[in-house]
Homo-oligomer: A and B are copies of this chain.
Amino acid sequence: MLELNQKEWDAFSNIFVFRSVPKKCRLTDAGEIAREAYFINKGLARLYFLKEGEEINANFVFENGFITSFESFLLQNQSRQVVETLEESELLVLRKHKLDELTKAFPKFNIFNKIMAEQAFFMLQRRASSFILDSAEQRYLDMVQQRPNILERIPQHMIASYLGVTPVSLSRIRKRISGE
């Protein structure tokens, strides 16, 4: 799909910079422009909204995943979401202006941009339709099936807002399920 010669590959790998960060490190704050996107080599990060001081989790991203406030990164406007590590992490940092330079030098990388936008869309599409079509209980069951590492590595009250319910309600859902 994206076949690169040596020169292109060098240019591509050079736009990523390694960075080590502690846990609870805010990589992008709400209101600020997401000038970077992060490939997670080791560790774990989350994306969340702030609503009246309350944190509402939109996504959790693990090893080999890619995280950023996509809308802000793509449009370079103020982010409505926060990107924050949950564990000590090792990141490959992609800077937007570097990516733009690369795309200018090698138009072929427009395909990379396309793939990034598409992936962000597909991810969101799956999530949005589960909110539209399924109950919170079904969403929880699907999550356990499809993303078991969330259950293992994320505290329950954070999972609650990810599923769109209160921590109390999630606890009730779990009880309901276990008693069946």
A residues sitting closer than 8 Å to B (CB atoms) are 49, 51, 56, 58, 70-71, 74-75, 80, 107-108, 110-111, 113-114, 117-118, 120-122, 124-125, 127-129, 131-133, 164
Whether A131 pairs with B128 at a CB distance below 8 angstroms is yes
Prevailing SS type, chain A contact patch: helix
Report the Cα distance A70→B70, complex, angstroms.
18
Contacting A132 at CB < 8 Å: which of B56, B70, B107?
A: B56
Residues of chain B lying within 8 A (CB to CB) of residue A107: 107-108, 110
Known: A114-B114, A131-B131, A133-B49. A125 touches B124 (CB 8 A): yes
Number of copies: 2
Known: A49-B129, A49-B132, A129-B80. A114 touches B110 (CB 8 A): yes
Whether A132 pairs with B58 at a CB distance below 8 angstroms is yes
Whether A71 pairs with B125 at a CB distance below 8 angstroms is yes
Residues of chain B lying within 8 A (CB to CB) of residue A71: 121-122, 125
The residue on B at minimum CB distance from A164 is B132
Whether A70 pairs with B128 at a CB distance below 8 angstroms is no
Contacting A118 at CB < 8 Å: which of B58, B111, B117, B133?
A: B117
Known: A110-B107, A118-B117. A133 touches B70 (CB 8 A): no
* 8 pairs of residues in contact across A and B, judged by CB atoms under 8 Å: A70-B125, A75-B122, A110-B110, A110-B111, A110-B114, A113-B114, A117-B121, A128-B131
Report the Cα distance A121→B119, complex, angstroms.
9
Whether B122 pairs with A124 at a CB distance below 8 angstroms is no
